[in-house]
Structure formats: structure tokens, C-alpha cells
Amino acid sequence: MPVIEINDQDQFTHLTTTAAGDKLIVLYFHTSWAEPCKALREVFEAISNEPSNENVSFLSIDADENSEISELFEISAVPYFIIIHKGTILKELSGADPKEFVTLLEDCKNSINSGPSQTGTVENANVNEGSHNDEEDDDEEEEEETEEQINARLTKLVNAAPVMLFMKGSPSEPKCGFSRQLVGILREHQVRFGFFDILRDESVRQNLKKFSEWPTFPQLYINGEFQGGLDIIKESLEEDPDFLQHTLQS
């Protein structure tokens, strides 16, 4: 069936729960800036229109425009495919190899007859309980720091530099498009900043969400105060082009 472009989380939730029925669902995460995604889009549409895939739902998701959905599945690279059936994540694939994707899709269609894999589940499209979160739970169980200790460590981290960016990867090698964009914004405005790769410390990654009361990354701090994620920083700069400099000076 034709590819459906996802415009918001409500549409995504409806198509992956209420309207899903017994269909196999393929999620295709892409961005406008990733060259491999441009060529793969045509291939993805061609595969979706094949008669053998009439009972498969193909959803196209711009990872930058739908950051909440991307965060749910912890998308750190594009193109990225996730195949779901009845709320169960059957397979995940990172990369732009059409043959590998077709093989994966055929394997998933065949596996439905023998019962779904237990790689992970999605409940109401609001929770990704796959291997990522299982690892996070294990890390949390092994966490020895008390709440006071981690909060003290986070306080030191957010004040480590006048401008601190908590991101996926490093400025020279961002691991997600959102982090890449925020690094670009800081450089464009000639703002010197420190950074912390949250992928290297699961304790910081999880507890900073509570510390800032903000569920996604990247996160930007100025003078120890949380300023927001990518969208909020963009909005602040639209309202005040010198927002970063003004906040630093205040």
C-alpha cells in the first residue's frame, strides 16, 4: 500500500494502534539532510506498491520534524527501519541497503505465521520497551549513586562551562540530527561551549531528564540554567537573534 507520511504524534499513534489491526508496520526514519535517505525514498515507495505488500503499512517519518517519535525509538542515525506487528518490534535496521531491507521485510512477513518475536514492544505508541530500555533498566539497577550524589554531579556538569551542551555524540561527530543542528546553531552564532556525550554515561542520560524536567536530548544550559532543547532554542533565536549572547550576559 502507498507510503503514509507522518505529520504528528497523534497520527502516528492512531496508525500504529487503532488502525493497525493485523498489519505489519514498517517505520522509515529519514531526514532531509542525509543524502542516503533521498535515494532510498524512491526505493521505499516502490517496495510499498508491490502487490505482495498490500497488507503491510509503510510509514515515513522525518526524524527531525518528529523528534518525539524519534526519541521514543532512540533513533541516532538515518536511514533507519523498524518493523512492528501487533505492538511488537520484530526487527530494526540501520543503513541504506535496499536488498538488506527487502530481506528483512520478507523474514518478518514469514515470521508472523510462526508467532511474533519478543525483541521489544510498543504500548500505545508511547513506550519503546525494546532492548534499549532493557539495557537502561539493567544500568539503573546497577546504579550505586544516591539521588543526592547524582544531583550533585549533574550540578557540577551543567556548570562545567558557561554554555554546556548535553548531546548524543560529540560536536565533531554528532550521533543524531538534533544534536548536529544545535551544534551548528552554536557555531553559527560563534558561541564557545562545552559538551557532554550522554551516550557514554547512562546515569547522566536518565537522571538529567529529571534534573531538567525535559525528556529529550540535546539539552542546552547557559550559566547553569536549562534553556531548552533544539526547538525551544530555535524559537528563542527567532524572537531574539542575540538570545544566546543576552542570556550569557544576564
Distance of CA 80 to the CA centre of its chain: 10
Give pLDDT, residue 21: 81
User: Confidence band (pLDDT; 50, 70, 90) for 28?
Assistant: very high
Strands 219-222 and 163-167 come out as: antiparallel
Average confidence (pLDDT) over 148-166 = 92
Q: Between 122 and 152, whose confidence is greater?
A: 152
DSSP letters spanning 197-230: EGGG-HHHHHHHHHHHT--SS-EEEETTEEEE-H
pLDDT tens digit sequence for 29-60: 998 888 788 878 888 888 998 888 888 999 99
pLDDT in tens, 180-214: 999 999 988 888 888 898 998 889 999 999 999 99
Which pLDDT score, from 0 to 100, does residue 120 have?
A: 37
Average pLDDT along the chain: 82
Q: Is the pTM of this model over 0.85?
A: no
* Whole-number Å distance between alpha carbons of 238 and 51: 47
Model confidence at 132: pLDDT above 60: no
